[in-house]
A and B are shown apart, each in its own frame.
Chain A
Amino acid sequence: MDRFLERSLHHLDFLSVIPDRAWVDHGVGTAQRFQPLPISANLLDEAARQLPIVLHSIGLSICSADIFDEEYARNLIAWADRLQSPWISEHLSFSRIGTGHEVNAAVAVPIPYDQEVLDLLIPRVKFFTGVLHCPFLLENNVYYFRFGDQDYSEEAFLNELCSRAQCGVLLDLHNLYTNSLNHGFEALDYLKGLDLANVLEIHIAGGISMMGFHTDSHTGPVLDGVWRLLEYTVPLATRLRGITFEFHESTFGLLGDSGILEQVDRARAIVQKFSPASEPVSYVSASLPASHC
């Protein structure tokens, strides 16, 4: 990954990274809890001198009923300040439960879109929007099972959350595509119900079939159905600031550098088609290297 960045950074308009890969978290309440990993942190600092760095965190678990990890939130804000991130984001899901002795679900678990969850989230989102120098976004989740009898649809829940907590939406079109395939609804209906003016970033990605489902594996090229959703969304997302191609490291073997950059170029072309006068927006998302064998 680091070599890809060296070769390709100039091709990108910004870089989206998972900051959790650049620190070791020694646990809630420990002294010096977040220890930056020097190689990864230096790589980020170096990249930040060349282009904007967007932080897409995975460890906050903002929808956990019994945990709001303020130490984590403050650390994320500090990194965003240090790197002068133009925005940061998290997932509309949870993975951590249990105060004291935590359990990690090892996957982003969906939430029911109920008033109770909305009430839980609003002060947490305001914690960010109140102090951050930049927008805070929440991403629509991918889910392989779903809950019935909800107070809101997902899109109505996001509209309400943005309106009441002043956050934005990271619209993951591959998540939407995956959910629509797996659960049999029209992705366009979802987009028509979502207030696209709240969308500041879009994710696009590839995925594979597994156990009879389409999965959000982030492998391979962006799928045709996702490109079509992007073409629909871009002209309507009036505050859109970036598009990120998310890919798993195995995609290097499938597409190579040039194939990855083709996805970026195609996204850039779609933006320029609909907003020829705007600044170019097309971005690639990458995980920082873990420096493993």
Chain B
Amino acid sequence: MSLQAFQQVIVELTLDPGRVQRMLQGDLSVLDRYELTERERKRVLEAIRQPGMALNCTIARGNRFEAVAELFPMTCTLLKPVLRDLLDELWKDAPPTHYQFAGEEEAFMGIVDRKIASGELAIEYLDEIFAYESRCAELAQRMRNQTATDDGSEAIVEFRHPPDLLLLPLSQQTIPPSGLPTGVYRARLILRGEQVDVEMLSATHDRPDAGRPN
């Protein structure tokens, strides 16, 4: 039981840098609920005092985030100013439960979706880029379960701004300029291997005075 408790403490600290900080500031009450031997307790205290523990926590967060960032790189670029807080909120009291990070993508999609709907995430272009990457994620999921790589999984998406002016800078982790022209831009997404090709189907530009909201 003791080794089990020891491993549990180390994992919980790895996933919660804030708890490490609280312990470093003297709050050792977190250890009270574990049945640790004196040697294990000493090891835990030594571990949190080592600067490498902070790196350990950072790498764990990075690995967890990678599961999301691989599927939503452009959404994450747009979210950058608030991303850390968003992930803190998402991950608070919700440790990863699967070595393949199953469920992480859905949880991320859920919180972004809710916050866009409630207006908490009022970031220019975010909703359409999030919708675009969500469709890409669906395509990728479909493709993963298929037997051929070249069957051309496709989806139709609608943008409110010219896709090329959005996707090109975002693919280079750059935020597109504010105030791009608006309209209705329908595009076909075609997943080829690991690459998504975007093929324009139609573009209807708003009149300059149409005042379509972003």
Output the nearest chain A residue to B105 by Cβ-Cβ distance: A292
Asked if A95 lies at the interface with its beta carbon under 8 angstroms from chain B, I say yes
Asked if A282 lies at the interface with its beta carbon under 8 angstroms from chain B, I say no
Output the nearest chain A residue to B100 by Cβ-Cβ distance: A25
Whether the pair B3, A144 counts as a contact (CB closer than 8 A) is no
Query: Measured between C-beta atoms, what is the minimum distance from B154 to chain A in Å?
Result: 13
Whether the pair B51, A149 counts as a contact (CB closer than 8 A) is no
Within the assembled complex, what's the spacing in Å between the Cα atoms of A106 and B140?
23
- A window 69-120: CB within 8 A of B: 94-98, 101-107, 109, 112, 116-117, 120
Whether the pair A292, B97 counts as a contact (CB closer than 8 A) is no
Which residues of A have CB within 8 Å of B21?
none
Output the nearest chain A residue to B52 by Cβ-Cβ distance: A144
Query: Measured between C-beta atoms, what is the minimum distance from B151 to chain A in Å?
Result: 11
Answer whether A39 and B95 are a contact pair too, CB < 8 Å, given A106-B15, A120-B3, A147-B46. no
Whether the pair A42, B147 counts as a contact (CB closer than 8 A) is yes
Within the assembled complex, what's the spacing in Å between the Cα atoms of A98 and B196?
39
Whether the pair A64, B59 counts as a contact (CB closer than 8 A) is no
Within the assembled complex, what's the spacing in Å between the Cα atoms of A260 and B132?
34
Stretch in contact with the other chain, from B4-12, B22-30, B81-89, B202-210: B4-12
By size class, the interface of chain B is: 35 or more
Asked if A232 lies at the interface with its beta carbon under 8 angstroms from chain B, I say no
Residue picked from A66, A116, A117, most chain B C-beta under 10 Å: A66
Stretch in contact with the other chain, from B63-71, B111-119, B174-182: B63-71
Output the nearest chain A residue to B12 by Cβ-Cβ distance: A103
Q: Which of B46, B50, B60, B149 contacts A106 (CB 8 A)?
A: B60
By size class, the interface of chain A is: 35 or more
Query: Measured between C-beta atoms, what is the minimum distance from A72 to chain B in Å?
Result: 9
Whether the pair B145, A37 counts as a contact (CB closer than 8 A) is yes
Within the assembled complex, what's the spacing in Å between the Cα atoms of A221 and B144?
30
Asked if A253 lies at the interface with its beta carbon under 8 angstroms from chain B, I say no
- A window 115-168: CB within 8 A of B: 116-117, 120, 143-149
Within the assembled complex, what's the spacing in Å between the Cα atoms of A194 and B191?
49
Whether the pair A289, B7 counts as a contact (CB closer than 8 A) is no
Measured CB to CB, the residues of A under 8 A from B are 2-3, 20, 24-25, 27, 37-40, 42, 58-59, 61, 64-66, 94-98, 101-107, 109, 112, 116-117, 120, 143-149, 182, 210-213, 215, 289-293
